[in-house]
Amino acid sequence: MAPRSKAQSFRQHPFADLDRILSKKAIRLAESRAWIQQIQRPPEPLSAAEEHQLFKRAMTGVRPLRANRHTDTPAAPECSQVADNTEPDGLRQLRELVEEGKGFTLAHTAEYMAGPGAGSTNPLIEALHQGRFTIQDHIDLHGMGVPEAETAFNHFFKRAIATGLRGVLVVHGRGLRSTAAPVLKRCVKKWLTRGRWRRWVVAFASAQAVDGGTGATYVLLRNTPQRRRRS
């Protein structure tokens, strides 16, 4: 082997074999396209027999539930069947009474109290009970003894008449704690019909529930006292 010259010994060729190395690592285009098409190709659909075998393999070891531990879903009604959504009248009326207060008439209860003064009529009492008159003042006798309540009642009516009030409210309670009849409620009725203020009373009636119900009484007063009838 002939010795290299001094110029050749210092000459380097780092890329002399680059073409040969790249040619070995190059990917042929035709082969790469075939490989991509094989990956993207959708799988062939299974036959009925193959699907059945896969299902049996997946259900291996599965046990059905017992009939007494599972509530069967009721079958859907036939298209010709019509659901009966009608509610019995008794249940409907009870539901409306509890939820909305429909069907309850306070005037039809035993606790309802009403009475005419001279010259009043039933329609007037009904209108008073329905709250069609303005209530200008009220007094609360609830919890008082009879003497104390009577004194307060007289002072209240004296002031109401002196100031020209027409509609007032007397709260007396329902007397549920009384062993016999409601004491104050009975006294108020007596004072309105036979007391010193009876000639000023046009009519009275139990109040609406919002104002106390049968535990309170609306009173309609006159501008001037009614004259006594001559015998």
Within a domain: 74: no
Output the DSSP codes for 121-158: -HHHHHHHHTT-S---EEEE-TT--HHHHHHHHHHHHH
Within a domain: 93: no
CATH of the domain at 144: 3.30.1370.110
Q: Residue 219: what pLDDT? A: 96
Within a domain: 180: yes
For 93, the enclosing helix (H) or strand (E) is: helix 89-100
Within a domain: 228: no
Paired strand residues for 204: 115, 219
| Spatial contact of 152 and 144, defined as CB atoms under 8 Å apart | yes
- The alpha carbons of the chain give a radius of gyration, in whole angstroms, of 50
Q: Which domain holds residue 173?
A: 106-221
**Mean pLDDT of successive 10-residue stretches along the chain, which has 231 residues:** 55 70 63 60 75 81 67 51 58 58 55 72 86 94 92 96 96 75 89 92 92 93 82 51
Within a domain: 99: no
Within a domain: 53: no
Within a domain: 148: yes
Q: Residue 28: what pLDDT? A: 58
pTM of the model: 0.53
Query: What is the total count of domains within the chain?
Result: 1
Q: Residue 20: what pLDDT? A: 74
Q: Residue 156: what pLDDT? A: 97
